[in-house]
């Protein structure tokens, strides 16, 4: 699908960006160009030393820039066909005490990506969202909800351009930087794993699943949709038992801006949500295409009004044993519980 295309990945040195680019290099060997757009020159340098990136430098362009800088972003997007927008400030506690910094990157940066796409002849844009954007209670979630609204409204500004904007929304990415599993693996050596709340739950998705979803959106988006995966939940306490079964689990209380359970589809969203089999899709409230044609094309069915997709009432749960298997497969092949 991406052979012959030029792709720009904002936040391209992050966990998702690197995994996505690896997949593209593997599955679309004739991709024209991949631009890694990010702020940190050291991360770009380190990424360029690793396989498969160092073997494909003729196809890669490392571009230092910030999504807050619209002029720089537009320059980077010249000749680009596809944008994957993965850049964000995502640490919840940091956003609570640095609110404007989070707004500048996550909201103004999203608008800059949209403007760059409209100005540069881009044909596909997929933006990464988060479960924290559904009924947000923290600033990070609120900024990502704003970002989602910008991208789902953007098709109304495309005019006659052949351009589709869409969003993918999913839960905690297993093993991503700053997430709970790498934190617990490190802390287990101390014999204590701090638990925020024994009843806390989260959705779980692997990087492979996240990339699969972005590729699905690239191929199937009509414009303005939010794609939501059907994925399992886990209990934070079960993650601790999987990683440190012999550890103590002191309860330290939830951090500012945290929820006990996360949502990806709220009851209000259910009015515009359809089930496409592998994914739920939240349709735009003012689509530029006919909803019935979309549903017929994808054999999609509307969910029941009042439906909600919540990590605490999920139908699929990971056990500590299954969490261990996933850690070995997707995070650390040499992992051993302590």
Closest CA to 218 of 74, 27, 18, 47: 27
What's the pLDDT score for residue 313? 94
Residue ranges of domains in the chain = 6-171+205-230+266-308
- Residue labelled with tokens 């024994």: 198
Strand order in the sheet with 201-205: 172-173, 201-205, 233-235
Q: Express each pLDDT in 196-236 by its tens digit.
A: 999 999 999 999 999 999 999 999 999 999 999 999 999 99
What is the β-pairing status of strands 279-282 and 273-275? antiparallel
Alpha helix segments (H runs only) across 83-179: 92-97, 99-103, 109-120, 139-153
Residue 58 has pLDDT above 80, yes or no: yes
Architecture of 6-171+205-230+266-308 per CATH?
Answer: 3-Layer(aba) Sandwich (3.40)
Neighbours of 271 (CB within 10 A): 15
What's the pLDDT score for residue 176? 83
Catalytic residue among 132, 187, 235, 259: 132
Assigned token pair, 85: 């927008």
Catalytic, 22? Answer: no
Residue 178 has pLDDT above 80, yes or no: no
Average pLDDT over residues 1-22: 96
Q: What is the DSSP letter of 145?
A: H
d(CA 262, CA 235): 12
Global pTM value: 0.95
What's the pLDDT score for residue 255? 83
SS3 275: strand
Burial 210-247 (b: 16+ CB within 10 A, else e): bbbbbbbbbebbbbbbbbbbebbbbbbbbbbbbbbeeb
What's the pLDDT score for residue 143? 98
Q: Express each pLDDT in 246-299 by its tens digit.
A: 999 999 998 888 899 999 999 999 999 999 999 999 999 989 999 999 999 999
């Amino acid at each position: 699908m991406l052979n012959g295309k030029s792709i720009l990945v904002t936040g391209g040195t992050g966990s998702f960006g690197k995994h996505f680019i690896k997949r593209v290099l593997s599955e679309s060997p004739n991709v024209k160009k991949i631009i890694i757009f990010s702020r940190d020159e050291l991360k770009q340098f380190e990424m360029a030393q690793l396989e498969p990136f160092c073997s494909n430098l003729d196809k890669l362009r490392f571009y230092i820039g910030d999504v807050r800088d619209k002029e720089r972003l537009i320059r980077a997007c010249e000749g680009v066909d596809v944008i994957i927008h993965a850049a964000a400030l995502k640490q919840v506690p940091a956003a609570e005490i640095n609110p404007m910094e989070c707004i500048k990157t996550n909201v103004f940066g999203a608008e800059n990506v949209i403007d760059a796409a409209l100005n540069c002849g881009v044909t596909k844009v997929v933006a990464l969202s988060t479960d924290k954007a559904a009924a947000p209670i923290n600033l990070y979630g609120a900024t990502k909800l704003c970002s989602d609204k910008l991208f789902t409204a953007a098709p109304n500004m495309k005019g006659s351009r052949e351009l589709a904007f869409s969003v993918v929304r999913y839960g905690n990415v297993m093993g991503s930087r700053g997430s709970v599993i790498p934190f617990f693996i490190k802390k287990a050596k101390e014999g204590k794993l701090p638990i925020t709340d024994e009843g806390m739950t989260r959705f779980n998705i692997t990087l492979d699943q996240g990339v699969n979803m972005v590729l699905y959106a690239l191929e199937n988006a009509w414009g303005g949709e939010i794609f939501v995966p059907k994925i399992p939940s886990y209990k934070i306490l079960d993650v601790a038992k999987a990683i440190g079964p012999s550890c103590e689990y002191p309860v330290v209380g939830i951090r500012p801006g945290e929820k006990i359970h996360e949502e990806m589809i709220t009851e209000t969203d259910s009015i515009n949500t359809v089930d496409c089999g592998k994914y739920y899709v939240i349709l735009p409230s003012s689509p530029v295409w006919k909803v019935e044609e979309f549903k017929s094309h994808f054999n999609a069915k509307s969910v029941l009004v009042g439906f909600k997709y919540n990590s605490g009432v999920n139908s699929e749960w990971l056990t500590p044993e299954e969490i261990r298997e996933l850690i070995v497969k997707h995070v650390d092949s040499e992992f051993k519980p302590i």
